[in-house]
Structure 1
Amino acid sequence: MDIVVKGRKTEVPERFRKHVAEKLKLEKIQKLDGKVISLDVEVSKEHNPRQADRSDRVEITLRSRGPVIRAEASAADPYAALDLATGKLEARLRKEHEKRYSRRGNGRLSAAEVPDAVPGVARLNANGATAAEETAAAATTITTTMAGSLEVQGEGPLVVREKTHAAAPMTLDQALYEMELVGHDFYLFVDSDTKEPSVVYRRHAYDYGVIHLRTDPFAGSEGSGAGGALGG
C-alpha cells in the first residue's frame, strides 16, 4: 500500500510525513480492508486569522477495489487535524467492514436483529409492517360515532349541545320582541303566516334582517343552504 502525502498551498515537513506513516498503520487498515491500493493525504492551510482554530486541514482518501472512502478534518495544527481525520477514516472503514460481514452467511442478521444492530432503523411488528405503516393504516380507519341524533364519521364536526324546543307560530313583530328580550343577535321562530321556519337577525343599529326557509322536496343536499346568509 502506497501512502502519498502532499501539500496544497503549503509545505509539508519531513517530520509530518513520518508521523503520517506511523499514524496510518498498514496492518490496522488492512485488517479492516484487505484490498487497499493507496492512501492519499492532502494537507492545506487557511491563512485567514479569523479561522486560526481550524487553519490546518487534512483530507485522507483511501482507494481500494471497493468504494473510495474519504475523511477530512480541520484543527489549529496539522497533527491535531490528522488525528481527527484518521479517527473518521477508521470509523468509516469499520462501518464498511461490518456491513460486508453482515452480508456473509455466518454473520448475516435476521430481520428481528437488525433494529438492535443498526440504530434508527424501523422495527417490524408481528404482521411484518413498520410502526409508521401501522400508524398510517390506523389513521385511514374511519370510525362512526353518534353526537345526539347526528351520525359523525371520523372526527367530524364537534357538536357540543343539541336541544329541541316546542315553538308556537308567531308573527315577525313577536319574534323581534323575543329576540330583544333574550338579548341575542338572532332568533329562530315559526312564522305564523307561512308556517315555515324563519330567522330574524340584527344587522346595524336598529336594522334587522329576516330569512324564511321554504321546503323544497326537489332540492338536493348539494345546495348552499341558508346558514351562510346570516349577517348579510
Structure 2
Amino acid sequence: MLDYQVRGLNFEVTDAIQQYVEKRLSRFERYLNDDGSYVARVKVSALKGKRFKAEVTIQLPYLVLRAEDTEDDLYQAIDFVTAKLERQARKYKTRVNRKSREQGYKGLPVFDIDEELMTDTEESEPEIVRKKTVSLKPMDPQEAVLQMELLEHDFFIFINAETDAPAVVYKRRDGKYALLDADD
C-alpha cells in the first residue's frame, strides 16, 4: 500500500492536485508487494517565471526511487516525474532478474512488475571503465573540501576525524558543499 504525503512550496496544494498526484502514482501500487506500507513523499514548488517543480521520493526496503522535474505546467511536471520513476523501477527489476538468472541470486522482491511492462530495449548495465584505489586519511570535513577543490574533483572520500568513519564531501548543484557520513 502506498501512502501519499503531498506538500506545496510557495503555493497551496488543492484537492485537484492531490488527486492528480495520487492517480498518477497509484500505478506503483501494483508493483509493490502487499507485505508492507510505503510512503510517497511529493513536493511541488512554484518557481519564478511561472514554472513548477515536482519532486517524488518513494522509500522501499532496499531501494529509493527519486525523481524531479521542472516544467511550465505543474501537471506535466508530475507526469514526467512519474515516467522517470517508472523507468527506474523497470531498470531495477531488469537488474534483479538478470542477477537472478546469471548468478542464481535470489533478488530483492520489492517489485512484482509484469513481464509485458518490460520493454524489449533493456538498458545495459553501466560500464565501469576505470577502477581506482584510494587510501583514506583522517581529516575534518573542511580539510576534505579544501582537498577536493585542490584536486578539482566533484567529490572527496576520507575518514572523518570527528567520527572515525568513512565520509564523502561533494559539491552540490547550487555550488554549496554537502557531507555524507557513514552510519555504523
TM-score (norm 2): 0.52
Q: Aligned residue for 2:25?
A: 24
Note the 1:82-121 alignment, pairs <5 A: 82-104=78-100, 107-108=101-102, 118-119=123-124
1-side partners of 2:91 and 2:37: how far apart?
Answer: 16
Closer, same or farther: CA 120–108 of 1 in aligned 2, 3 Å = closer
The structure 2 residue matched to 1:69, chosen from 65, 69, 84, is 65
Aligned partner letter, 1:108:
E
Q: Aligned residue for 2:77?
A: 81
DSSP-derived class of the 1:12 partner: coil
CA contact (8 A) 1:32 1:94 kept: no
Q: Which has the higher contact order (CA 8 A, sep 6+)?
A: 2
Q: CA deviation at 1:10?
A: 1.6
Q: Aligned residue for 1:167?
A: none
Q: CA deviation at 1:98?
A: 1.3
DSSP-derived class of the 1:39 partner: strand
DSSP-derived class of the 1:97 partner: helix
Larger radius of gyration: 1
Q: CA deviation at 1:97?
A: 1.2
Find out whether 1:56 has 2:57 as its counterpart.
no
1-side partners of 2:37 and 2:67: how far apart?
Answer: 15
DSSP-derived class of the 2:70 partner: strand
DSSP-derived class of the 1:79 partner: helix
2-side partners of 1:36 and 1:101: how far apart?
Answer: 24
Q: CA deviation at 1:121?
A: 6.3
Unaligned runs of 5+ in 1: 110-115, 123-129, 131-232
Q: Aligned residue for 2:46?
A: 45
Q: How many residues align?
A: 110
Q: CA deviation at 1:36?
A: 6.1
Closer, same or farther: CA 119–72 of 1 in aligned 2, 3 Å = same
Closer, same or farther: CA 68–121 of 1 in aligned 2, 3 Å = closer
Note the 1:180-199 alignment, pairs <5 A: none
Q: Residues 167-209 of structure 1: CA distance to partner in whole angstroms, max 9, x if unpaired?
A: xxxxxxxxxxxxxxxxxxxxxxxxxxxxxxxxxxxxxxxxxxx
2-side partners of 1:101 and 1:31: how far apart?
Answer: 18
Q: CA deviation at 1:101?
A: 1.5
2-side partners of 1:31 and 1:16: how far apart?
Answer: 22
CA contact (8 A) 1:36 1:62 kept: no
Closer, same or farther: CA 97–7 of 1 in aligned 2, 3 Å = same
CA contact (8 A) 2:40 2:56 kept: yes
Q: Residues 10-45 of structure 1: CA distance to partner in whole angstroms, max 9, x if unpaired?
A: 2111111011111112xx324434366110110001
CA contact (8 A) 1:71 1:89 kept: yes
Q: Residues 120-150 of structure 1: CA distance to partner in whole angstroms, max 9, x if unpaired?
A: 767xxxxxxx9xxxxxxxxxxxxxxxxxxxx
Q: CA deviation at 1:68?
A: 1.4
Identity percentage over the alignment?
Answer: 24
| RMSD of aligned Cα (Å) | 2.8
Closer, same or farther: CA 118–88 of 1 in aligned 2, 3 Å = closer
Aligned partner letter, 1:102:
R
